[in-house]
Amino acid sequence: MKKLVLIVDDEPGILTTLSSVLVDEGFDTVCTESGEQAVEIYREEKPDVVFLDIWLPDRDGLETLQALREMDPAASVVMMSGHGTASTAVKAIKMGAFDYVEKPVSYNQVVQSVAGALDYRASVAADQAILSSVKQTTPRIEADRNLAPAPGLSLLQVSDIPQRTIRRSTVIYGVGLHSGGRTGMVLQPLPPGSGIHFVTLPTNTHIPCYVDDVAETDYATTLARDGASIRTVEHLLSALHAYGITNLLIKVHGEIPVLDGSAMEFCATLEETGIEDQGVPRKEVVVDRRYQVGGEGGKLMTIEPDDGFSVSYLLRYPPPIGEQFHEFRLTRPNLYRENIAPARTFGFMRDLKMMNELGLGTGGRLDNFILVGEDNVINTELRFADEFVRHKILDIIGDLYLLGYPIRGKVTARLTGHRDNISILRTMVSENTL
């Protein structure tokens, strides 16, 4: 079935020219010189794309745009003007226009604009389907897993801290640390009570931020569902946990970008995009007693009651790293940004062959992780003398956010990794209704 394009312009020559181009390209068209009539045509015909002139005799083009967007938030509108200004173009885009073109419009411009507008409409429709799915299958643990609350066992408590999301959508591009491929990620705000959700691109598989969907913990934390997976979620989740972001949609191609190997750029993106308090109290996981995993080979991880959230970690490797200890209490995002977020992931020369055989670490470059040789760090200057142990704390803060809520508890870890982080979450879930 041919796509329908509505053309709205008070110049008959423009209507004829645009219509001819679009018909030649395989589209059906409907034309009008009236903004009022355009709204009625849209209501009845539901065109796929609209070319809309700024200046109309009966109704301003921006007013018509507003009416179309109110009628259909997915309306894909290309604004046109022969004597517009930059401020008008900016205003049109802010009001929801897909594109703004100056007349006379060339053949190639028309073709490119209509193709982009169709892609935009398809993207908006996919987003709406995902958001509808999110609302129907909330990530909140009790709803997502149909667990009936058990009296005295639920660790969830309402706090006086508000739920938070970001103020506007944003995009982050980079390389996947383990896949080695170019990857992109879209962050979109969600309303209160939504939670954090991942969506795989281009399959649109919905994966809630929850420990049950953890599939792998070798060198990074991977979520998977219905044959789709998202690798290396821990650095992003660490920043979200530290900044108290509780409602967010994350659309990503396969693997979260590694960026410089730390969480610094995620923090910068959150601050640049803006964080919005949503006026609704958040729930927190309030640890009620001591939980423990490990105990073999010196590994040990515990989490116990506390009036805040803190992580202490003891790390021990052969030289040149040696033994390092660090303790961090998360009270304000800026403390995380300054003391934990800059710490980069690291790897050893001796492990590279094995990692390559496993298909891991192929995106590791000299600027996105710390490469450790037999006697020294090979590729960079350390940001902290104890950067290695700080990165372990960064990972723990991220992995523990896979309970779906901020945590109030004291974490003590020794020689542990992603597997232990996920193991203690599963222990908590198995013994409680979350």
Structurally, how many domains does the chain consist of?
2
307 with 403, same domain: the answer is yes
Chain segment 321-365, per-residue pLDDT in tens = 999 999 999 999 999 999 999 999 998 877 665 545 444 444 444
Which residues are catalytically annotated? Answer: 418
What are the tokens at 342?
């800059």
What are the tokens at 69?
């967007």
Model confidence at 195: pLDDT above 80 = yes
223 with 272, same domain: the answer is yes
- Alpha-carbon distance of 92 to 78, in angstroms, equals 9
For the domain that residue 118 is a member of, what is the CATH number?
3.40.50.2300
- Alpha-carbon distance of 19 to 14, in angstroms, equals 8
285 with 395, same domain: the answer is yes
Q: How confident is the model at residue 133 (pLDDT cuts 50, 70, 90)?
A: low
185 with 111, same domain: the answer is no
| Model pLDDT, residue 357 | 44
286 with 303, same domain: the answer is yes
| Model pLDDT, residue 121 | 82
Among the three residues 103, 132, 161, which one is the final residue of a domain in this structure? 132
In terms of Cα–Cα distance, which of 314, 286, 287 is closest to 300? 314
For the domain that residue 396 is a member of, what is the CATH number?
3.30.1700.10
Q: Which residues of 214-250 are buried (b: 16+ CB within 10 A; e: fewer)?
A: bebbebbbbbbbeebbbbbbbbbbbbbbbbbbbbbbb
In the predicted model, what is the mean pLDDT of residues 381-393?
97
Model confidence at 156: pLDDT above 70 = yes
Among the three residues 64, 98, 132, which one is the final residue of a domain in this structure? 132
Structural domain span for residue 114: 4-132
| Model pLDDT, residue 253 | 82
258 with 293, same domain: the answer is yes
Q: How confident is the model at residue 369 (pLDDT cuts 50, 70, 90)?
A: confident
- Alpha-carbon distance of 258 to 365, in angstroms, equals 10
In the predicted model, what is the mean pLDDT of residues 142-161?
56
Among the three residues 75, 104, 132, which one is the final residue of a domain in this structure? 132
Percentage of the residues of the chain whose pLDDT score is greater than 90: 61
Chain segment 116-129, per-residue pLDDT in tens = 889 878 766 665 66
Q: How confident is the model at residue 137 (pLDDT cuts 50, 70, 90)?
A: very low
104 with 253, same domain: the answer is no
| Model pLDDT, residue 126 | 63
What are the phi and psi torsion angles at 363 (to 5°)?
-95, 0
117 with 171, same domain: the answer is no
150 with 100, same domain: the answer is no
Q: How confident is the model at residue 186 (pLDDT cuts 50, 70, 90)?
A: confident
